[in-house]
């Protein structure tokens, strides 16, 4: 009898141990790195924290792989409390290329400047800036070489790319706002970014001072990168609304409220229309001037649309978390080509070069599609283990 | 399976927590406390049944001891009689393990809720979007403020981990039955030590919001346990215990050589043993069969064999 009691308790102990391990199929951060294309070279991060350069003009040969030296594991025994210790350098935003250097912000709290060697067969870390808190969005670079990155402790930092990442200013100067998970957008000397505190901010890119009399407030957190076109800022919010705001004054121009879930990804602008994917599984097309809906019904998919859609030659390309890529006519939302089924869920925003569309998936691959024919352009490129 | 878990447990828990947080000025820590109390109330019938069983076990100890003496040479028969006795008193050998097993999915759901609602990782926040109901009370609350008292609910906290271990140890001590024999006593001590240490170590890996739940749940359980069975072994936290023949409650184990030099404790068996020794000694002195151990100063005699 005693043995049964002891065995029962020991079984409980085993269950707790195993369950804890399972419980932690544990949400450390994995990253969802988006690709960037510059001069026939595809720059893309992997879910293991590496950055790869791929020659798209030469049969997708991998030119070099860079990895941050710091790859410490996350908080605790199971890396469960990923908010605890800084985790491995997973990347959520797209790399930014400027003057031959590639800049990434990583979840380990660093902004890295990566310099390819002269033969472009290797890359080294030129410098890194320790922001001290996770960076979830990408970084933006202005024409004068100022790098902007938002952090999870609610600050936007401006770094001098020409001075090895020397900090120019920080916003706010004291204290912090809500977490900044958006990729900032820099246009005409103004940097725009959203925060989880529900506000959209516009700052002078040189001084870090507020441009508007007050931040533009929405009803929900903002993680979508602002899209700035012809003096108007377009972005979606967690209040399920899509906004158009005057870039100079911060006044609302119009609001679109047909979605039933959050906006996460950056919108896409083409020929007077704005296309935005929502986590309610739909993609909406709005007239950029007044916010009226272009299509009779939105483009529906089987899963949340977290990736930014693109339009290539009049064809709207959408990647959905139902592991499919959709090709629709941008004019009326009707199907152009049959959806392509993927082996894994899409991770990143879509990147476009001509008619070619690039997408990273959960199985650590880059897929390339030709939107003109609605087919894969080549075999998926593996980003390694 | 995951869809069922999300629909039945994760979704409701997450949304209830968000509603509580909204009505508590966005304070997620208070929301966790409210949900802990709610969970405690929901499993109260099971807990009360377990506590009553614990009390019945205590009261059964003298009878168990009798059975042990009676069937000391027939283990199988002893086991049968023991099971029969348990059944008569409605006692389950699993003891306190069932409430803990039932809580396990709750821990998982609470952990997932904390990760998603506090925007620890972007993946978690995206997951949240698919779990929230369309209630106006939950929309617009995201993300919640993770600060509570001195710690961050999204990150591990060492003092909270210590509190988890300490409260669990206290609860284990109160609820563990006194051992029938030294071997069982060793097993009890092992379990009483291992579980709190293990949970304390886990608490160092998980968000402290989960630790807050564990600490509060343990404290509520300690209160309930005290009401029904008293402090139990916690009143003698570092002594070995055995069931009292009279009451079945734990009493300290006193080695035989110490027992003779101490005043007889309240238990009737020990008193009898002491009295028997005294009577025997006195009888020996009267009839001259036993020699006194007093020193005989003048004669130089000793008790050493010749």
Choose between A132 and A189: higher pLDDT.
Answer: A189
What pLDDT, on a 0 to 100 scale, did the predictor assign at position B273? 63
In angstroms, the first-to-last Cα distance of chain A is: 51
- Tell me how far apart the alpha carbons of residues B72 and B68 are, in angstroms, rounded to a whole number: 5
Q: Mean pLDDT score of chain A, rounded to an integer? A: 88
Is residue B102 within 8 Å of residue B198, measured between CB atoms? no
Confidence check: pLDDT of B266 > 60: no
Mean predicted confidence (pLDDT) in A79-90? 46
- Token match 């401006």: residue? A158
State whether B120 and A27 contact (CB < 8 Å): yes
How many angstroms separate the Cα of A110 from the Cα of each of A104, A113, A127, A136, B274? 8, 10, 10, 11, 76
Strand order of the β-sheet with A315-320 is A310-312, A315-320, A324-329, A335-341
Confidence check: pLDDT of A24 > 70: no
Closest alpha carbon within chain B to A28: B121
State whether B129 and A279 contact (CB < 8 Å): yes
Mean predicted confidence (pLDDT) in A335-347? 94
Chain A with chain B: Cβ pairs closer than 8 A: 127
- Tokens at residue B190, please? 């092992």
Closest alpha carbon within chain B to A306: B126
Confidence check: pLDDT of B299 > 50: no
- Token match 């309930």: residue? B224
- Tell me how far apart the alpha carbons of residues B137 and A327 are, in angstroms, rounded to a whole number: 37
List the single residue in B79, B93, B156 with the smallest CB-CB distance to A8: B93
> With 0-12 CB in 10 A as exposed, 13-18 as middle and 19+ as buried, what is A169?
middle
Phi-psi region at A165: left, alpha or beta (left = phi > 0; alpha = psi -120 to 50): left
Confidence check: pLDDT of A201 > 70: yes
Other Cβ atoms less than 10 A from the Cβ of A367: the count is 25
Any chain A CB within 8 A of the CB of B9?
no
Confidence check: pLDDT of B45 > 60: yes
The tens digit of pLDDT for each residue in A106-141 reads 988 999 999 998 888 889 999 999 998 999 999 999
State whether A77 and B95 contact (CB < 8 Å): no
SS (H, E, C) A205-237: CCCCCECCCCCEECCCCCCCCCEEECCEEEEEC
- Tell me how far apart the alpha carbons of residues A282 and A304 are, in angstroms, rounded to a whole number: 7
What pLDDT, on a 0 to 100 scale, did the predictor assign at position B275? 60
Q: pLDDT above 70 covers what percent of chain B?
A: 70
Confidence check: pLDDT of B200 > 50: yes
Mean pLDDT check: name the lowest of A117-131, A346-360, B246-260.
Answer: B246-260
Mean pLDDT check: name the lowest of A142-156, A189-203, B28-42, B263-277.
Answer: B263-277
- Tokens at residue B181, please? 């024999």
State whether A17 and B198 contact (CB < 8 Å): yes
Q: What is the DSSP letter of A65?
A: E
Mean predicted confidence (pLDDT) in B167-177? 84
The tens digit of pLDDT for each residue in B47-85 reads 787 777 777 777 777 787 787 788 778 878 877 887 787
Bridge partners of A322, per DSSP, are none
Q: Which ipTM was obtained for this model?
A: 0.83
List the single residue in A23, A178, A304 with the smallest CB-CB distance to B111: A23
The tens digit of pLDDT for each residue in A297-332 reads 999 999 999 999 999 999 999 999 999 999 999 999
Residue A335 CA, distance from chain mean position: 27
- Tell me how far apart the alpha carbons of residues A366 and A371 are, in angstroms, rounded to a whole number: 16
The tens digit of pLDDT for each residue in A211-231 reads 999 999 999 999 999 999 999
What pLDDT, on a 0 to 100 scale, did the predictor assign at position A265? 93
State whether B139 and A4 contact (CB < 8 Å): no
Chain B residues lying within 8 Å of A5, measured CB to CB = 93-95
Confidence tier at A20 by pLDDT (50, 70, 90): low
- Tell me how far apart the alpha carbons of residues B93 and B86 are, in angstroms, rounded to a whole number: 8
Choose between B258 and B142: higher pLDDT.
Answer: B142
Chain A residues lying within 8 Å of B124, measured CB to CB = 27
- Tokens at residue B252, please? 């300290």
Q: Residue B165's closest CA among B208, B204, B212, B199?
A: B199
pTM value > 0.80: no
What pLDDT, on a 0 to 100 scale, did the predictor assign at position B93? 58
What pLDDT, on a 0 to 100 scale, did the predictor assign at position B39? 86
- Token match 């026939």: residue? A40
Q: What is the DSSP letter of B180?
A: S
How many angstroms separate the Cα of B174 from the Cα of each of A21, A337, B196, B226, B227? 29, 68, 13, 8, 11
Choose between B37 and B119: higher pLDDT.
Answer: B37
Confidence check: pLDDT of A77 > 70: no
Any chain A CB within 8 A of the CB of B158?
no
Mean pLDDT check: name the lowest of A73-82, B10-19, B41-50, B254-263.
Answer: A73-82
What pLDDT, on a 0 to 100 scale, did the predictor assign at position B302? 44
Chain B nearest CA to A336, separation (Å): 29
Three-state SS at B148: strand
Q: Mean pLDDT score of chain B, rounded to an integer? A: 75
How many angstroms separate the Cα of A173 from the Cα of each of A183, A196, A207, A216? 20, 18, 11, 19
What pLDDT, on a 0 to 100 scale, did the predictor assign at position A76? 44
What pLDDT, on a 0 to 100 scale, did the predictor assign at position B114? 80
What pLDDT, on a 0 to 100 scale, did the predictor assign at position A301? 96
Residues B222/B225/B230/B233 CA torsion (nearest 10 deg)? -70
List the single residue in B83, B101, B207 with the smallest CB-CB distance to A81: B207
Choose from A75, A81, A151 for mutation: most chain B CBs within 10 A: A81
Three-state SS at A158: strand
Closest alpha carbon within chain B to A260: B134
Chain B residues lying within 8 Å of A28, measured CB to CB = 121
What pLDDT, on a 0 to 100 scale, did the predictor assign at position A12? 62
What pLDDT, on a 0 to 100 scale, did the predictor assign at position B270? 58
Closest alpha carbon within chain A to B208: A81
State whether A80 and B206 contact (CB < 8 Å): yes
Q: Residue A212's closest CA among A245, A177, A238?
A: A245
DSSP letter string, A109-147: SEEEEEEE-TTSS-EEEEEEEE-SS---S--EE-TTSEE
Listed ranges A275-284, B37-46, B196-205; the one with the highest mean pLDDT: A275-284
Confidence tier at A6 by pLDDT (50, 70, 90): low
Choose from B2, B102, B120, B204 for mutation: most chain A CBs within 10 A: B120
The tens digit of pLDDT for each residue in A141-172 reads 999 999 999 999 999 999 999 999 999 999 99
The tens digit of pLDDT for each residue in B226-252 reads 887 778 777 766 655 555 555 555 556
The tens digit of pLDDT for each residue in B78-127 reads 778 877 877 776 666 555 566 667 777 888 888 888 878 887 788 888 88
Choose from B89, B115, B121 for mutation: most chain A CBs within 10 A: B121
Is residue A334 within 8 Å of residue A295, measured between CB atoms? no
- Tell me how far apart the alpha carbons of residues A281 and A209 are, in angstroms, rounded to a whole number: 38
């Amino acid at each position: 009898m005693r043995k049964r009691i002891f065995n029962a308790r020991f079984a409980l102990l085993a269950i707790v141990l195993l369950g804890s391990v399972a419980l932690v199929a544990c949400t450390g951060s994995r990253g969802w790195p988006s690709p960037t294309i510059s001069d026939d070279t595809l720059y893309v991060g992997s879910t293991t924290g590496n950055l790869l350069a791929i020659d798209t003009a030469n049969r997708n040969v991998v030119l070099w792989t860079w990895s941050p030296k710091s790859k410490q594991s996350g908080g605790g025994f199971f890396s469960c409390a990923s908010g605890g210790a800084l985790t491995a350098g997973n990347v959520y935003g797209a790399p930014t290329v400027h003057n031959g250097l590639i800049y990434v912000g990583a979840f380990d709290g660093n902004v890295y400047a990566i310099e390819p060697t002269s033969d472009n067969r290797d890359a080294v870390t030129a410098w890194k800036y320790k922001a001290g808190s996770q960076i979830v969005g990408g970084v933006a670079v202005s024409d004068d070489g100022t790098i902007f990155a938002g952090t999870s402790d609610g600050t936007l930092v401006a770094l001098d790319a020409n001075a090895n990442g020397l900090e120019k200013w920080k916003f706010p100067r004291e204290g912090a706002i809500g977490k900044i998970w958006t990729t900032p957008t820099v246009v005409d000397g103004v940097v725009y970014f959203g925060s989880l505190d529900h506000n959209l901010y516009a700052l002078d890119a040189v001084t870090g001072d507020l441009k508007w009399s007050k931040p533009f407030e929405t009803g929900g957190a903002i993680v979508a990168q602002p899209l700035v076109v012809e003096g108007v800022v377009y972005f979606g919010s967690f209040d399920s609304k899509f906004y158009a705001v005057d870039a100079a004054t911060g006044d609302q121009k119009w609001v679109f409220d047909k979605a039933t879930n959050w906006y996460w990804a950056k919108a896409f602008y083409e020929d007077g229309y704005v296309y935005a994917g929502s986590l309610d599984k739909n993609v909406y097309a709005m007239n950029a001037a007044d916010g009226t809906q272009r299509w009779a019904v939105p483009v529906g998919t089987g899963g949340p649309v977290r990736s930014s859609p693109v339009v290539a030659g009049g064809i709207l390309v959408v990647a959905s978390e139902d592991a499919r890529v959709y090709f629709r006519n941008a004019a009326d939302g009707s199907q152009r080509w049959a959806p392509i089924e993927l082996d894994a869920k899409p991770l990143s925003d879509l990147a476009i070069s001509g008619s070619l569309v690039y997408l990273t998936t959960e199985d650590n691959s880059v897929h390339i599609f030709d939107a003109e024919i609605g087919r894969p352009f080549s075999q998926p490129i593996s980003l390694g283990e | 399976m995951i869809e069922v878990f999300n629909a039945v447990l994760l979704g409701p828990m997450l949304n209830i927590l968000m509603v509580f947080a909204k009505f508590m000025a966005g304070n997620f820590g208070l929301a966790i406390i409210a949900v802990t109390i709610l969970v405690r109330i929901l499993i109260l019938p099971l807990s009360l049944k377990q506590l009553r069983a614990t009390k019945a076990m205590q009261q059964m100890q003298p009878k168990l001891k009798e059975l042990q003496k009676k069937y000391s040479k027939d283990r199988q028969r002893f086991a049968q009689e023991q099971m029969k006795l348990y059944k008569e008193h409605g006692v389950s050998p699993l003891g306190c393990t069932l409430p803990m097993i039932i809580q396990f999915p709750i821990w998982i759901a609470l952990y997932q809720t904390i990760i998603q609602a506090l925007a620890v990782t972007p993946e978690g926040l995206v997951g949240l979007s698919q779990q929230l109901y369309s209630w106006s009370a939950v929309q617009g609350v995201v993300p919640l403020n993770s600060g509570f008292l001195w710690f961050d609910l999204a990150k591990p906290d060492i003092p909270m981990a210590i509190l988890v271990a300490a409260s669990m140890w206290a609860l284990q001590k109160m609820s563990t039955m006194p051992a029938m024999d030294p071997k069982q006593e060793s097993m009890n001590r092992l379990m009483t030590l291992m579980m709190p240490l293990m949970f304390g170590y886990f608490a160092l890996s998980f968000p402290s919001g989960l630790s807050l739940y564990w600490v509060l749940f343990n404290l509520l359980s300690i209160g309930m346990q005290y009401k029904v069975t008293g402090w139990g072994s916690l009143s003698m936290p570092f002594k070995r215990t055995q069931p009292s023949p009279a009451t079945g409650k734990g009493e300290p184990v006193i080695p035989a050589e110490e027992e003779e030099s101490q005043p007889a404790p309240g238990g009737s068996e020990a008193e009898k043993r002491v009295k028997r020794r005294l009577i025997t000694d006195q009888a020996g002195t009267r009839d001259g069969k036993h020699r006194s151990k007093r020193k005989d100063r003048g004669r130089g005699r000793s008790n050493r064999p010749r």
